[in-house]
Structure 1
């Protein structure tokens, strides 16, 4: 599994309430993306940086999302350029369902 960390600096800080409103407007488009296991939306405590943590089945699946069109969508929505970092995620502890998940 691969975790992608996406971040972008906002032109102006936003509140958690505003972030939630914006994030809810984009969340449905991530529902049925092939290979995407989970997505967390992020907002820094000072409201200056936003982004997401994405858990993917593979690096190839992740790269299918992070296209120029996706980058343009982020730039238009948030007036900011995203960065993407990839991390191997060989073990995940999921306390919500009580599982330890490992790479297949």
Structure 2
């Protein structure tokens, strides 16, 4: 599994309510994206940085989303360029499902 963290400095701070509205407007875009397991939207406490934490099946799946078209979408929506950082995630603890997952197996 791969975790991608996207972040971008906003040209001016936004409130949590503004962020929620913006995030809800883009959330449908991420439904059904191949290889995307979860996405968490992020907003810094001071409202100056936004982004997301994405859990992917593979880096190839992630890279298929983070194209120049996606970057242009982010620039158009937030007036800033995104940064994407990748992390390998060999183990995931899911307390809701009460399970531990690895890249290749599910463990109880």
Range into which the TM-score falls when normalised by the shorter chain: over 0.9
Larger radius of gyration: 2
**Whole-Å separation in 2 of the counterparts to 1:40 and 1:12:** 22
Runs of 4+ in 1 over 4 A off after TM superposition: none
- Runs of 5+ unmatched residues, structure 2: none
1:99 aligns with 2:103: no
**Whole-Å separation in 2 of the counterparts to 1:30 and 1:99:** 25
| Offset from partner CA, 1:2-40 (integer Å, 9 cap, x none) | 000000000000011110000000000101000000000
Say how many residue pairs are matched: 104
- Runs of 5+ unmatched residues, structure 1: none
**Whole-Å separation in 1 of the counterparts to 2:90 and 2:35:** 16
Structure 1 residue 97, shift from structure 2 partner:
1.4
Task: Give the CA RMSD over aligned residues.
Answer: 0.5
**Whole-Å separation in 2 of the counterparts to 1:99 and 1:19:** 31
**Whole-Å separation in 2 of the counterparts to 1:58 and 1:38:** 13
Instruction: State the secondary structure of the residue aligned to 1:40.
Output: strand
**Whole-Å separation in 2 of the counterparts to 1:40 and 1:55:** 9
